[in-house]
Amino acid sequence: MALIEAKNVSLGYDGTDVVTGLTFNVNKGDYLCVVGENGSGKSTLIKALLGLKKCSSGHLHFLEGLKQNQIGYLPQQTVSQKDFPASVYEVVLSGTLGKKNLFGFYSARDKRKALDNMSMLGISELKNKCYRNLSGGQQQRALLARALCATDTLLLLDEPVTGLDPKAAEELYSLLYHLNKEHKITIIMVSHDIRASLEYSTHILHLKGDRFFFGTAEEYRSSETGINFFGGENK
């Protein structure tokens, strides 16, 4: 069952399209990795999915009652975000704010969900720690728990392992795989890590300006696009 359908979508900035004619769909339970070279439109697509940018043509359809404020989002971290002076619990709990009005208060249900997500991601003991004093891997777990407070359906991640050491990156990939397989959370992840993309994803969307590839990870391995980008089945 489709959650998102993109039909002949064109996207760009400053009056110039960087993606044209894009058509793909994301079904419940999919793990879609969006790959491509710098400037190919990956971040622009993320903004469109979040409702921060309009399509210059074509349509993005959200189905099954999915609303854009019900997407859990884990962005690339900036230096200022890494130095955020709040407790881990406060950071995670803030993920529930997207569903509230301007003067909304945290409910008992919100607080329970924040604690449950922290427990699921193994960071309960960090509850009262200052977020900026955590390691990079711990910070990403906290932000992932925050994103899960916004959704039970769809996670959108933009280069989530940037700046992490190999061990922390692999742990994060394993967490995402577990959320996808065991908790049935659909994942869309922008990534430069083609190895992990092929290992964990069900589908690949490769952006190439006025061209694109969309298909299963296995189809991508043997496609001309995949072979040219990473060496194909011989890698």
Banded model confidence at residue 180, pLDDT cuts 50, 70, 90: very high
Query: In this predicted structure, what is the pLDDT of residue 170?
Result: 95
* Mean per-residue pLDDT, 143-157: 95
d(Cα 109, Cα 112) in Å, to the nearest integer? Answer: 5
CA-to-CA distance for 71 and 26, rounded, in angstroms? 13
Confidence band of 234 (pLDDT split at 50, 70, 90): very low
pLDDT attached to residue 154 = 96
pLDDT at site 188: 98
Q: Express each pLDDT in 41-96 by its tens digit.
A: 998 999 999 999 999 999 999 988 888 888 999 988 766 567 778 999 999 999 99
Least confident of 38-42, 45-49, 104-108: 104-108
Quote the CA–CA distance of 157 and 196 in Å, as a whole number.
14
Q: DSSP for the chain?
A: -EEEEEEEEEEEETTEEEEEEEEEEEETT-EEEEE-STTSSHHHHHHHHTTSS--SEEEEEE-TT--GGGEEEEPPPPHHHHT--SBHHHHHHGGGGGGS-TT----HHHHHHHHHHHHHTT-GGGTTSBGGGS-HHHHHHHHHHHHHTT-SSEEEEESTTTT--HHHHHHHHHHHHHHHHHS--EEEEE-S-HHHHHHH-SEEEEEETTEEEEEEHHHHHHSHHHHHHH-GGG-
Q: Mean of the per-residue pLDDT values for the chain?
A: 90
Q: What mean pLDDT do residues 169-189 have?
A: 96
Average pLDDT over residues 127-149: 95
User: And the tokens for 154?
Assistant: 């769809």
